[in-house]
Structure 1
Amino acid sequence: MESYTRTAYIVQHAFYYDGPLKGSFLFNDYKCSAQYENDTLSILLNNDNGYFGNGVLVKVFNSQFYIKDIDPSTLKREKKFIKSKVLEQKLVLNTNKFNKNDSIYGFIDYKCKIDSLVYKHFRGYFKTTIQKN
């Protein structure tokens, strides 16, 4: 169950470069949810409104993590991912032991290149309660 209150204070700045044409987009309406299954914590930082979503999925396991970019062109709350090239990434969590109903707090700073034209910088704080899947 996703919280109705704001659970993430994240700003995503996306830049595109297409020859002489340049631009940027700013997103700051993210929510956080987390699920723990087996030995993997999945943290979803997304601004899905039912028509599109724009965020990341962070998977944490064995004191390691990886980040997957959510494809913004999905519909009906689907979760599809796009390939990206990680330029920089940092994840800080308040704990490395996860249990159902525990609160988790964190910080993410993630930069990537989506394709030859689009760069993304995703940075901020989040909090949520861990749910068991």
Structure 2
Amino acid sequence: MDIKLSQTFIAVDDHDKALAFYRDVLGLEVRNDIAYEGMRWVTVGSPSQPDVNIVLEPPIADPNASPADKQAAAELLAKGLLRGVIFSTDDCDATFERISAAGGEVLQEPADQFYGVRDCAFRDPSGNMLRFSQPRSQ
């Protein structure tokens, strides 16, 4: 049996801001942009990984969600507590410089971790934590 990652979801509160970040700052390509019942899903992905998709979705993808549930999801998103993604990079420091120069909200500058990677972290425009990880040379 062969199991591979196909899609992952990231909640965003403003698709246009998220798209500007994921497409224009990170360099991901837009693969799909769907609107349905007042909601929007935008699929992005790395050109080097055509079979892996990141879907930028509403915090609650349910048109029948209660106002209280929508508010609770918005509060969790604002605190950065819903999801996170770890990207791999071949140059953590250059990735950090590019994203920070574009105005990315820095959570952690590049640092060597005890578990064998050099990584850095940012928040996307919706508050989600994104890490960028590079294997350290042995």
TM-score bucket of the superposed structures, by smaller chain: under 0.3
Q: Counting helix residues as a fraction of each chain, which structure ranks higher?
A: 2
TM-score (normalised: structure 1): 0.28
Give the TM-score taking structure 2 as reference length.
0.27
Bigger relative contact order, structure 1 or 2 (CA pairs below 8 A, ≥6 apart): 1
Structure with more strand by fraction: 1
